[in-house]
Structure 1
Amino acid sequence: MPGSRRSQRQRAVSELRVQGRYGPTFRDVLPGFVGLGLAIGLPLGFLGWMYGQLGILGLVLGVALLAGAAVLLVRWRRASARRRGGIYTPAELATLDDHGLAAAAERLLGRDGWHVIAMPDEGRPRLYARDRGGRQLDVGFRSADEVVDGDAPTGPAPLREAGRPGVDNLIRVVVSRGSYSRTDVLWASRQGGVHLLDGRQLQQWAAGASLDDLGLPKG
């Protein structure tokens, strides 16, 4: 004897859920309904409160405030999405500390197709990156206000990791929001395989140029 119509429907629903074809449950859509309710209810509550306090003038002022907040929210979300995609403005770069700059560089490298691993070195940010062609980068960072005396070497020391072959063949990139002196350039030329990225080039990179466009060795 076949089961009741209700049991048949329950079995059919169970099979569809197992196959992932039944659709979302009430628990799945509840957070969305709550968010929608808050998105509608809070502004209406605010407008009602403003109307109760100031009458029509309060209602007009409340609408203006909500419109301004909506514009700011849209701009913030667009800017956040742009940064996640690896595009930064010069003003945004200027507000970053060393760790924030490293996080931005990680996004820029990911945007350009590099696989990036964060490898902090004694508390200082450091990145290891590899592209599809097998090139490897050791990316260090120098503060814009870091002062180098005389002929002292500048930038992070070479990345060394036991057990990783070819570490000494890494292309070393030193990133700074500032500029490099003649001493810095001479130091880099003596090291071999060191690419200095100054503030102007950093802005170009953050605007969409690739490291290859900025003179990174092809390999």
Structure 2
Amino acid sequence: MPGSRRSQRQRAIAELRAQGRYGPELRDVLPGFVGLGLAVAVPVFALVWLYRVLGIEGLVLGVALLAAATTVGLRWHRAVVRRRGGIYTPAEIAVLDDQVLAAAAERILRRDSWHVISMPDQGRPRLYARDRAGRQLDVAFRPDNMAPDDEDAPAGPAPLREAGRPGIDNLIRVVISRGSYSRTDVVWASRQGGVHLVDGRQLQ
């Protein structure tokens, strides 16, 4: 026995939504309309109030303030959109902490068409990435205030390997730090195969 008209309509809507052919409902778009209305109404009421209190000088002052606020807001919005797209200025990179630096690295990799998965390791940020060519990255982050430990450096000559060459397991390991690496760090990385150190200057 067929269901009621309401249940049939709900099923039809569900099918259309599953196919991506059904638009949003009023409750989905209402917050946006309310926000847009407030964004228009508040400045208008502010300008009217300034005009009533200060006259034409108040109106001119209000327009100038509104123009300045709009300019600042547009610049801020553009900067946010740019960073979300994985584009950072050297000054922005220089002030990122470890967690935000990991998010920035993830956005940069996604910008360059890498598929990225966040895989934190013992509370430290860590990323795994793979591109269309099958290359794999294991991206770790070292605090920029971590002092290098020369005692851990193996003795003997350090054969430098070709840049970009993966390790034995075909995994390219990248260690990122906003600070700098010591010679010991570079020597250690050169012996591992597939380990690449990225310091603050390279990031910027």
User: Are the structure 2 counterparts of residues 28 and 117 from structure 1 closer, same or farther at C-alpha, using a change threshold of 3 Å?
Assistant: closer
CA contact (8 A) 2:168 2:193 kept: no
Q: 2:22, 2:108 → 1: CA distance?
A: 40
Pair 1:44–1:167, CA change in 2 (3 A): farther
Q: Secondary structure at the match of 1:172?
A: strand
* Aligned residue number for residue 196 of structure 2: 195
Does residue 125 (structure 1) correspond to residue 125 (structure 2)? The answer is: yes
Residue 125 and residue 27 in structure 1: after superposition, are their counterparts in 2 closer, same or farther (change >3 A)?
Answer: closer
Distance 1:59 1:88, change over 3 A: same
Deviations 1:4-32 (A, max 9, x none): xxxxxxxxxx7xx8568897766565444
Tell me which residue corresponds to 2:97: 97
Contact 1:142/1:176 (CA < 8 Å) preserved in 2?
Answer: yes
Normalised TM-score (structure 1) = 0.71
Query: Which residues in structure 2 correspond to 1:62-73 (within 5 Å)?
Result: 62-73=62-73
Change (3 A) 1:178 1:24: closer
Cα RMSD for the two superposed structures = 2.8
Aligned-partner residue type, residue 174 of structure 2: V
Q: 2:148–2:182: 8 Å Cα contact kept in structure 1?
A: no
The letter of the residue matching 2:54 is L
After superposition, residues 43-192 of structure 1 pair within 5 angstroms as: 43-152=43-152, 168-192=169-193
- The count of corresponding residues between Structure 1 and Structure 2 is 179
2-side partners of 1:81 and 1:22: how far apart?
Answer: 28
Distance in 1 (CA, whole Å) between partners of 2:144 and 2:22 is 57
1:44 Cα deviation from its structure 2 partner: 0.8
Unpaired runs of 5+ residues, structure 1, are 1-13, 154-165, 204-219
The one-letter code of the counterpart of 1:198 is D
What is the TM-score when the length of structure 2 is the normalising length?
Answer: 0.76
2:37 equivalent in structure 1: 37
Superposition deviation, residue 149 in structure 1 = 2.9
Residues 120, 127 of structure 1: 8 Å contact kept: yes
Gaps of 5+ in 2: 1-8, 154-166
The change in CA–CA distance for 1:57 and 1:131 in structure 2 (over 3 A counts) is same
* Cα displacement (A) at 1:95: 2.1
Among the aligned pairs, what percent are the same residue? 70
Deviation at 1:176, TM superposition (A): 1.3
Aligned partner letter, 1:63: V
Give CA-to-partner distance per residue, 1:31-80, whole Å, 9 cap, x none: 44423321221001111222233332222111111101100111111111
